[in-house]
Structure 1
Amino acid sequence: MERGHTLFLTRLVLLILVTVTTCECQIHGSRANQAETLMEFRRSRKYQTRVSMVSEDMLTESGLGEMKTDDSGRKMDDDYIHEGLPGQPLSTLSIFKQYAGYINVDRVNGRSLFYYFVEALDDPSSKPLVLWLNGGPGCSSLGVGAMLEIGPFGVNPDGKTLYTRRYSWNKVANILFLESPAGVGFSYSNTTSDYDLSGDKRTAMDSYAFLVNWFRRFPHFKNSDFLIMGESYAGFYIPELAGVVIKKNMEGQSSSIINIKGIMIGNGIMNEDTDDKGFNDYLWSHALISDEIYTKLTQNCSNAVNSEYCKNLEEELGEEIGDIDLYNIYGPTCPRLPHGLTVRKKRHSGLDPCEGNYVEAYLNLPNVQKAFHANVTKLSYPWATCSKLIVKWKDSPKTMFPIYKRLIALGLRILLYSGDVDAVVPVCGTRYSIDAMNLKVIKPWRFWTDATKQVAGYKVVYDGLTFATVRGAGHEVPRFQPRQAFALVKMFLANRD
């Protein structure tokens, strides 16, 4: 993604500064992608006062709210994308079904969440159902998850046509992409004040309401094995939603039970203190900052002290790191187009760092929005990868440890994975977090391989969860290493350690 050198480095430095205990998080600013948005969010909650904290264990929280019933009257066939997506390769038009539309999760305020659903390539009735969530908070699962990572299509440099993704995850599962909360992507609310009330708790409850109503629209998937997957700030979204689903399953009638089997999270935040320690240590261990800066950070900036001193490290740290992509530290960055040019040339191999720009152009085409059944009359803004409407975040926990412990005790399958060249939520931060939970090692650290029999990463099996790394992958693992990520999801769906 294109970004100014100074602004980018400002976000980077402020991320690692002092921690305060409470804040209502202001997360506005440039929001080009989910990694930058997460960095801005983590910076903001260190310096401002959080009015309320979400419960750190939604499995035990009472008064989670009444489930809202969707009253739109729409049926599954109303959301069917009959003629495929604009620019879709003709050879793929009749291979699998695609659906898109809205589920209303609040009749009073008119909050409606947008989804894109892709059936499995073969025999969808026998395949599991995966809900995919991207993070931010405030970034689009349609634009990032579907169009950049695991969906059946990517966008060509012309911003108008699509290519077939070789390692699309609908080869092994039915995939449901949700734009959440309201204000993200094509999701909206008729009550604009809703956007200032977004937070972890409402996101979890709205997502649960979405699921129950989506299954009513798609009843033939009601008994399918259900799994929640995603990345980044979804490291909070996913355990929280899983906790709500399980609690509601325990309380609810059989008609509303969701057959949840597991969660799978990539480069997800887990715990504020260990995430921050991992960030500092990763920068130093990967030779991005000097010994001197690292010493200053670890000795003076790990607690709510010396904040002005820590802020003053900003310029020095920026000069040391330079203009690199922190969510893929060895990857290329997207250069600015030369003056007068509006279309980039197609890259014939390897990662295209500018593909997010093509996706944003594609999803703002009127014929594309019509094909997706996007209710653009309700949107006073263009589609964006990360929302410009959500400028506050009402509640957020410091840690996921209590929810993880309850999910583990209930026997939910859990896979955490880390691309090892991501500096935003780096592998060492996740390892620190898992270590802090004091889980027993069942199978020690060992390499794992993909279909080519090459070492794809390393994994360790604990009593309650599995942790895996993916070699050479950045913050969005399926985008940077699609073959290895595909092997990982197949392994998880097959319940193989």
Structure 2
Amino acid sequence: MSRSTYRVSCANLQLCSNAANTSYSHSETAAASSVSLLQKEKELDRISALPGQPKVAFSQFSGYVTVNQEHGRALFYWLTEASSLPEKKPLVLWLNGGPGCSSVAYGASEEIGPFRINITASSLFLNKYSWNREANLLFLESPAGVGFSYTNTSSDLKNSGDKRTAQDALIFLLRWMSRFPGYKYREFYIAGESYAGHYVPQLAKIIVDYNKKHSNSIINLKGFIHQFVTTLHGKYPDFLVGNAVTDNYYDSIGTVTYWWTHSMISDQTYKSILNHCNFSADKATKPCDDAVYYAMNREFGDIDQYSIYAPTCTTTLSDNNNTNIIKHMRLKNSLLRRRVSGYDPCTESYAEKYYNRKDVQKAMHANTTGSIPYKWTACSDVLIKNWKDSENSVLPTYKFLISAGLRIWVFSGDTDSVVPVTATRFSLSHLNLTIKTRWYPWYSGGQVGGWTEVYKGLTFATVRGAGHEVPLFQPKRAFVLFKSFLAGKELPKS
């Protein structure tokens, strides 16, 4: 699959460490040769221009990094450097969730990336509020089987889970930074949404653990920012998580509460779910299943469950009956894990048309041998149906990362019924954090952008009028949020 025969793999993290820190036991000549090969790899990954792309001044790179040589497992990335002073700005890794959904499809093409795809998938146009105005953006399709990322071992696709996804992502970062040494020791953050509420803190934790064992680690994690999702459905970097899944029990209670308080379900159905569903149980009873099924299929109506006040898109792709372009999200608790399929994703259909174009794949150095045995899709049915390990709660991981001193921001769009703000607030309340700045409205463009509360070790913010993909529905407000996060400043009060 790779364009170059030189694809260094890491059989274990120690080998990655040795390679990433260039601690070679070979001669200086051999070391120089390795550096030369890595530099060649970087230049081979350079994107001159994407088909239909407007002219831009920033550099782009994309390609593969092998994370497991034995299995032939390789992850696809797309780097869009900052539009100004890229050498001085931080690196931000963006992860989408699912599990099994593409950061190229969503993060890069619908949310925070510099380009948007037009309705005919024939050209791109600029995103005014791209986050690469403030940072170098690294989009990773993870795990293998998502988007252009692949494995030569078919069983990998049916054995993916939280643990291996985090391990492969760490190996990817170590190998990628060897190819892009300018980002070694650079201020580094992780961002994501939805099931990345697992990916982001789990990757942050494995980086923290790795850095404790390697005093000269190249990954300078400072924090993370993301949605707070706990169930299936950041010298350290910070992380930001949007509409994240974090705890099965609290997510489920919070989700049903959101449905009822937003008049999506009747009083009778609300009481029925509460009476019949044990949100702490691993398996649902039939009465619970029936109550949830009735709510979702008889009472919701044809709404966009990812943004309940937004109009639905009626455009469909006749060749796949919408099966491959539906956002795949399992509702939080095993009792509520029916896939939400009410979302009619026009923007995803544009992405699927564009990234399946041969000229686009050639420009991005993707699927270069043409041997990936399936079309590029926004989400992988195989991965989401066969996900093996998923922590019931990542709240203990949050506590660990708060104690590690990372900058942690959690945000929620307030019109998302899939990973709703109520679920996030229930989960956060059980961290029992000390309040530093009490709840207040924050502003963007003279309007209330949402509400926020600052705790010791964590900032929580809502984004008014935003659905599941916050930067898609409220790009300016999301950009203000991101700028404040990077600056380490509270959200504006006016």
Aligned length: 419
Map of 2:9 onto structure 1 = none
Q: Deviations over 1:5-58 (max 9, x none)?
A: xxxxxxxxxxxxxxxxxxxxxxxxxxxxxxxxxxxxxxxxxxxxxxxxxxxxxx
Amino acid in the other structure paired with 1:220: G
Query: 2:317·2:349 contact (CA, 8 Å) conserved in 1?
Result: no
Identity level (%): 47
Give, in angstroms, the shift of residue 375 of structure 1.
Answer: 2.2
Query: 1:231·1:476 contact (CA, 8 Å) conserved in 2?
Result: yes
- For residue 442 of structure 2, the aligned residue among 448, 470, 477 is 448
Ranges in structure 1 where 5+ consecutive residues have no aligned partner? 1-63, 341-351
Map of 2:4 onto structure 1 = none
Amino acid in the other structure paired with 1:329: I
For residues 380-391 of structure 1, what are the structure 2 equivalents within 5 Å? 380-390=373-383, 391=385
Distance 1:172 1:359 in 2: 25
Give, in angstroms, the shift of residue 261 of structure 1.
Answer: 2.5
Map of 1:412 onto structure 2 = 406
Distance 1:67 1:449 in 2: 48
- For residue 245 of structure 1, the aligned residue among 177, 190, 207 is 207
Change in Cα spacing, 1:161 to 1:280, as seen in structure 2 (3 Å) is same
Q: Higher relative contact order by CA 8 Å / sep ≥ 6: 1 or 2?
A: 1
Query: 1:442·1:463 contact (CA, 8 Å) conserved in 2?
Result: yes
Give, in angstroms, the shift of residue 353 of structure 1.
Answer: 5.5
Map of 2:43 onto structure 1 = 77
For residues 32-47 of structure 1, what are the structure 2 equivalents within 5 Å? none
1:379 aligns with 2:372: yes
- For residue 388 of structure 2, the aligned residue among 355, 380, 394 is 394
For residues 15-414 of structure 1, what are the structure 2 equivalents within 5 Å? 66=14, 68=16, 75-82=41-48, 84-89=49-54, 91-92=55-56, 95-254=57-216, 256-259=218-221, 260-303=236-279, 304=281, 307-314=285-292, 316-317=294-295, 318-336=297-315, 354-376=346-368, 377-390=370-383, 391-414=385-408
Q: Deviations over 1:256-308 (max 9, x none)?
A: 44343200000001111000001000000000001110011112213448711
Q: Deviations over 1:340-378 (max 9, x none)?
A: 9xxxxxxxxxxx951211111000000001011002523
- Secondary structure at the residue paired with 1:405? helix
Amino acid in the other structure paired with 1:330: Y
Map of 2:457 onto structure 1 = 464
Map of 2:428 onto structure 1 = 434
Q: Deviations over 1:79-136 (max 9, x none)?
A: 0002x100102x32xx110100011101111110000000000010110100000000
Map of 1:27 onto structure 2 = none
Change in Cα spacing, 1:308 to 1:175, as seen in structure 2 (3 Å) is same
Query: 2:113·2:130 contact (CA, 8 Å) conserved in 1?
Result: yes
- Secondary structure at the residue paired with 1:140? coil
Amino acid in the other structure paired with 1:449: Y
- Secondary structure at the residue paired with 2:381? coil
Give, in angstroms, the shift of residue 190 of structure 1.
Answer: 1.2
Distance 2:437 2:316 in 1: 49
- Secondary structure at the residue paired with 2:468? coil
Distance 2:126 2:99 in 1: 28
TM-score (norm: length of structure 2): 0.81
Ranges in structure 2 where 5+ consecutive residues have no aligned partner? 1-11, 21-33, 222-235, 320-343
Amino acid in the other structure paired with 1:288: M
Distance 2:219 2:469 in 1: 31
Change in Cα spacing, 1:203 to 1:300, as seen in structure 2 (3 Å) is same
Give, in angstroms, the shift of residue 333 of structure 1.
Answer: 1.0
Change in Cα spacing, 1:337 to 1:217, as seen in structure 2 (3 Å) is closer
Distance 1:415 1:151 in 2: 20
- Secondary structure at the residue paired with 2:409? strand
Give, in angstroms, the shift of residue 408 of structure 1.
Answer: 0.5
Change in Cα spacing, 1:299 to 1:67, as seen in structure 2 (3 Å) is farther
Query: 1:188·1:378 contact (CA, 8 Å) conserved in 2?
Result: no
- Secondary structure at the residue paired with 1:313? helix
Runs of 4+ in structure 1 off by over 3 angstroms are: 64-74, 255-260, 303-306, 336-340
Change in Cα spacing, 1:435 to 1:339, as seen in structure 2 (3 Å) is closer
Q: Deviations over 1:324-345 (max 9, x none)?
A: 11110001111046999xxxxx
Q: More deviation in 371-380 or 144-153?
A: 371-380
TM-score (norm: length of structure 1): 0.81
Distance 2:318 2:284 in 1: 44
- Secondary structure at the residue paired with 1:389? helix
Amino acid in the other structure paired with 1:85: L
Query: 1:119·1:175 contact (CA, 8 Å) conserved in 2?
Result: yes
Distance 2:241 2:293 in 1: 34
Aligned Cα RMSD in Å?
2.1
Query: 2:188·2:219 contact (CA, 8 Å) conserved in 1?
Result: no
Q: Deviations over 1:125-151 (max 9, x none)?
A: 110100000000000001110001010
- Secondary structure at the residue paired with 2:125? strand
Change in Cα spacing, 1:102 to 1:157, as seen in structure 2 (3 Å) is same
Query: 2:13·2:171 contact (CA, 8 Å) conserved in 1?
Result: no
